[in-house]
Structure 1
Amino acid sequence: MMSGLNPEVPLDWQLNKSLLECTSQLFLSSHLSDITFIFPNEHPIVNIPAHKFILGIRSPVFETMFCGALPAGETVKIIDNTSSAFKAMIKFMYTDRSEFNSSSEAIETMQAAHKYRIPLLAEICASYMENSVTTENVCCILDQAFLYDLTRLQTRCRKFIDENASQVFRTEGFTMLTPSTLGLILESDDLRLDECEVYQAAVVWAGSECSRQELRVTGENKRKVLGDAFYQLRFPHIPLQTFSEVVSREGLLTNEEVIDLFRYHASETKKPVEFCNNARRSLPSVMISRMQDGFRRNNMSKGCRTEAIKFQVTFTKKREQVQQARLVSLGLLNAVIRCDMEDEYFANSHLVTIELEYLSMNTESDSDDDFFDRPSKDLAVSSFCFPFTSKETKCITVDLPKPVDLTDGRWYKLSVTIYSSHKTMLKGKQYIQLLGSAIKSKVILESGLKVGFQGSTHGPIHSIYLRTD
């Protein structure tokens, strides 16, 4: 038999049911309903029936809405929540149960829970998000965590971003961050990312923010929308070449700031600048050396020393612990400059050119005579000067202007040339002698990576520095 009040409801439906079972039976039911929530902005328009008494005893906001000085009528329009989030909220109010299919559903439901002051549901939403953080959603979740002052969720998201900055900074969610949240991310000393990449990510965000604010995308406007976050960029820790060729030309810094930062890079005393100078505690790099044991001088070479080697980085069985390997620095053998008419000199600096290219897969044979003629694609090309200060120093470490992501199992061609730039040598022919020699072929296991080298024994490449994420 059906109830006389509602022919769709069985007669005596309440029998042998607990209070929770009865209220659960009424969820989304028009039986005994005395209020309807309408969502006019959705197509088609959604109507949700409900019961004032149940909503009123679960939420002080609904109690005021229905029993206050100006009580609501039989219909209420909702324009600031989605119908799906509203249903999830009142499902919890009727049944004490909640379930989400995605972090976006949890975020929308949490927004409704805060609006209608249902803290238990808000905590459930936050807990779900805490266990559902990914590179794609972490920025959106962090924005909500700051908005609602959810300390534990903030800590979880910030730690995740610190450890996965390379991936997170490339997502659409990063470009949608609020300015205040961006600033809090950039102030972290624990971001596992090189400063030039942090800067580039901030510039991309600023371009998106200019578009949102309908501003011309210029250097001046990018700095304007970055606000205080701009001063969290560690300009003193951006490599000089990248600063010179990229950062100084993009218009975010004033002429005076550019000059001050050039002076900072050129000065040995490192006078303070107005930007943050704390080095981020990024992931340590691993040195993979191809150096022979012992201190052995190499043969002299006229004018310059050059070398091209190939190397391969393969993730070992611990691959689940290594998601990405990057080439961040090179170790170059120290060099002595000689002149056939004068005594031995140690140059103030040498000019170095570096080229990194990738080769086709499966080029691992030792007898690859056509190695230098294979088609390849430039990944990094740079020229710069760096100092040699002591004849006792075997190796000088040179940071690449920008780290290069390496593909698991691919072979790469690395070419390095060292030229003398000693300005006082005006007479006679110049020669370069390297203070050491390398091993032609070598395979090294280190930090979850297998690195294979093939090359000559007389070139300047001592080692490569890899950083793993």
Structure 2
Amino acid sequence: MVVEYPNHYRTHEAAKRPFENEGFSDDKLFISCRILSSRDRRFFLPRTLLAGLSTQFNNVRTADVEFRVGPGASPLYAHRGMLSARSKYFADMFDSDPRTVIEVPDVGYLAFEALLKYIYYDQTEFDDDINPADLSLLVVKYRVPLVVDITEPKILGRLNPRLVCQLLATHSHVSSTLKDGLIEYISQKKF
């Protein structure tokens, strides 16, 4: 047994004879020690509910579902409760599917990440790096209604012949508003 005193250590005789308690008149030993963690675990309490929820976005420590997105199967982490509350598609999927790892090969990583950011932050921005066809697929497939208002103007503002063909090729994932915009674009262009 090692007993620590300020600035030095001393081995107590009782440690040499573990079944004898000589030197301890009242059979009590008090040890005071300081426990240090190897990791910095300062706790940050967000000021608002939204700020608190947003800290959970892509948080591998607290997530209960992992999405492997795109051809490279890059991981994105999320919470079933949050996704179910914001999307009927996710609610239905999690009710019937207990998997914790879900493959999402049909959309790009950036588009799916933007969808999850919208779910967690209640706002998102879609940069020009995101494929508009992926946005269209996300809007319809994952049934997150408010994203439609954000994505469709973005898609319609970036139309070109190649994108129109891409979107029409995935026509089952194109909303009626977007289809109308595609038809109008085609009717105004001379190919």
How many angstroms apart in 2 are the aligned matches of 1:19 and 1:72?
Answer: 28
Structure holding more strand per residue: 1
1:32 aligns with: 62
2:158 is the counterpart of 1:132: yes
How many angstroms apart in 2 are the aligned matches of 1:146 and 1:65?
Answer: 19
How many angstroms apart in 2 are the aligned matches of 1:135 and 1:71?
Answer: 39
1:60 aligns with: 88
Aligned letter for 1:46?
S
Q: Any idea what the Cα deviations from partners look like across 1:430-457, whole Å, max 9, x if unmatched?
A: xxxxxxxxxxxxxxxxxxxxxxxxxxxx
Which of 79, 103, 106 is matched with 2:105 structurally?
79
Q: Judge conservation of contact 1:54–1:94 (CA < 8 Å) in 2.
A: yes
- Identity %, equivalent residues: 23
2:51 is the counterpart of 1:21: yes
Q: Judge conservation of contact 1:39–1:78 (CA < 8 Å) in 2.
A: yes
Query: Using a 3 Å threshold, how does the CA distance of structure 1 residues 120 and 145 change in structure 2: closer, same or farther?
Result: farther
Query: Using a 3 Å threshold, how does the CA distance of structure 1 residues 51 and 36 change in structure 2: closer, same or farther?
Result: same
* Structural mapping, 1:32-181, within 5 Å: 32-39=62-69, 41-42=71-72, 45-66=73-94, 68=95, 70-102=96-128, 105-142=131-168, 147-151=173-177, 153-165=178-190, 169=191
Flag structure 2 segments of 5+ consecutive residues without an equivalent.
1-36
How many angstroms apart in 2 are the aligned matches of 1:159 and 1:23?
Answer: 40
* Structural mapping, 1:2-401, within 5 Å: 7=39, 10-11=42-43, 13-16=44-47, 18-39=48-69, 41-42=71-72, 45-66=73-94, 68=95, 70-102=96-128, 105-142=131-168, 147-151=173-177, 153-165=178-190, 169=191
Q: Judge conservation of contact 2:70–2:109 (CA < 8 Å) in 1.
A: no
Q: Any idea what the Cα deviations from partners look like across 1:36-76, whole Å, max 9, x if unmatched?
A: 1224841xx4111111111111112222333x2x4423322
Matched residue of 1:77: which SS? strand
Matched residue of 2:183: which SS? helix
Query: Using a 3 Å threshold, how does the CA distance of structure 1 residues 136 and 15 change in structure 2: closer, same or farther?
Result: closer
- TM-score, scaled relative to structure 2: 0.65
How many angstroms apart in 2 are the aligned matches of 1:73 and 1:128?
Answer: 33
Q: Judge conservation of contact 2:66–2:101 (CA < 8 Å) in 1.
A: yes
Q: Judge conservation of contact 2:89–2:142 (CA < 8 Å) in 1.
A: yes
Offset at residue 92 of structure 1 (A): 0.7
Offset at residue 8 of structure 1 (A): 6.7
Q: Any idea what the Cα deviations from partners look like across 1:308-362, whole Å, max 9, x if unmatched?
A: xxxxxxxxxxxxxxxxxxxxxxxxxxxxxxxxxxxxxxxxxxxxxxxxxxxxxxx
Query: Using a 3 Å threshold, how does the CA distance of structure 1 residues 159 and 35 change in structure 2: closer, same or farther?
Result: closer
How many angstroms apart in 2 are the aligned matches of 1:127 and 1:145?
Answer: 17
Structure holding more helix per residue: 2
Matched residue of 1:120: which SS? helix
Indicate the RMSD between aligned Cα atoms, in angstroms.
Answer: 2.9
Query: Using a 3 Å threshold, how does the CA distance of structure 1 residues 29 and 64 change in structure 2: closer, same or farther?
Result: same
Flag structure 1 segments of 5+ consecutive residues without an equivalent.
170-469
- TM-score, scaled relative to structure 1: 0.29
How many angstroms apart in 1 are the aligned matches of 2:75 and 2:130?
Answer: 22
Matched residue of 2:131: which SS? helix
2:21 aligns with: none
How many angstroms apart in 1 are the aligned matches of 2:59 and 2:108?
Answer: 19
Matched residue of 1:53: which SS? helix
Matched residue of 2:99: which SS? coil
Matched residue of 2:143: which SS? coil
